[in-house]
Amino acid sequence: MREQPEQQAPPVQRLRIRYAKRGRLRFTSHRDFSRAFERAVFRARVPMAYSSGFNPHPRISYAGAAPTGSASEAEYLEIALAEQVDPVAVHAALDEALPDGLDVLEVVQSPGGSLSDRLEASTWRITLPGVPADVAASAVAAFLAADEVSVERMTKKGLRTFDCREAVVSLGSHATTGSGTECAILDLVLRHGTPSVRPDDVLAGLRAIGGLEVGSAPVHERLAQGPLDALTGTVGDPLAPDRDAV
């Protein structure tokens, strides 16, 4: 008779981790990252808590992962541990165990509660190679002047049409400083919600309403992710309460 799997002990500590996806590793999908991270915790000998079941998995919860192809300075996850550890040591060990380009930026102890609830909005920087700054600026103006901008996206459930304007907290444009080819930069604050609006949806919206052609190579980079300050429209640090709690 098949034996029931052993029940795993509950975690004794949780750590929240901010990490970056940089350079060529921006093409890492979320599934790719989670496999790499599971191997990294093992290499780093982090004493992970495991799920119970026939096929125990290390307990890792991911929050608000950036789409494949987007770079990010502000990705978050939480790990559950079987032993108390020093977050500083885990930071160093994990960074060593991950490939360059997947970089651990901060590790703090979790006092409990939900991390993903704090991730209300993101700040994005979108680089548009070959797009003149004034062309971008006029499309942005048209976009901001509209109450609603409908765009389409192919999802697993088929082609969906939704409004991408409502989720945009702020949007601005400027030219790159320095020499080289012409290049516009968009600064975007996006509120998370349903339907989830992504930076490429906003680009589709800029094209729909402002005729902005961005070519095939815009680069999206998430600079921050966290609580949205309703007054200033800025994105705060989601780990600030945890840092203060220790």
Partner 1 sequence: MPATHADSVFPRLEPLLPSVQKPIQYVGGELNSTLKEWGDDETSPMVRWALMYPDAYEVGLPNQGVQILYEVLNERDWIVAERTYSVWPDMEQVMRDGDAQGPIPQFTVDNHRPVRAFDLFGVSFSTELGYTNLLTALDLAGIPLHAADRTEDDPIVLAGGHAAFNPEPIADFLDAAVLGDGEEIVLAISDVVREWKEEGRPGLSGRTPRDELLYRLAVSGSVYVPKFYDVDYLPDGRIKRVVPNTSGVPWRVHKHTLMDLDAWPYPRKPLVPLAETVHERFSVEIFRGCTRGCRFCQAGMITRPVRERSIETIGDMVENGIRKSGFEEVGLLSLSSADHTEIGEVAKGLADRYEGSNVSLSLPSTRVDAFNISLANEFSRNGRRSGLTFAPEGGSERMRKVINKMVTEEDLIRTVATAYSHGWRQVKLYFMCGLPTETDEDVLEIADLAKKVIAKGREVSGRNDIRCTVSIGGFVPKPHTPFQWAAQLDHETTDERLKKLRDNVRADKKFGRAIGFRYHDGRPGIIEGLLSRGDRRVGRIIEAVWRDGGRFDGWSEHFSYDRWVAGAETGLADTPVDLDWYTVREREHSEVLPWDHLDSGLDKDWLWEDWQDAIDPDPDSDVEVEDCRWTPCYDCGVCPQMDTEIQIGPTGRQLLPLSVV
CA 34/CA 50 separation, integer angstroms: 15
Work out how close the CB of 207 gets to partner 1 at its nearest, in angstroms, rounded to a whole number.
Answer: 16
Residue closer to partner 1 (CB basis): 25 or 140: 25
Minimum Å gap between C-beta 27 and partner 1 is 4
Q: Which residues bind partner 1 (CB under 8 A)?
A: 1-2, 23-25, 27-29, 31-33, 35-36, 38-43, 50, 54-56, 68-69, 97-101, 129, 215-217
CB closer to partner 1, 129 vs 241: 129
Measured from the CB of residue 113, what is the shortest distance to partner 1 in angstroms? 29
Query: Given the complex with partner 1, which of 15 and 97 has the nearer CB atom?
Result: 97
Phi, psi at 44, each rounded to 5°? -80, -5
CB of 23 to partner 1, least distance (A): 8
C-alpha torsion 48→118→205→221, nearest 10 = -50
Tell me whether residue 31 or residue 174 sits nearer to partner 1 (CB atom): 31
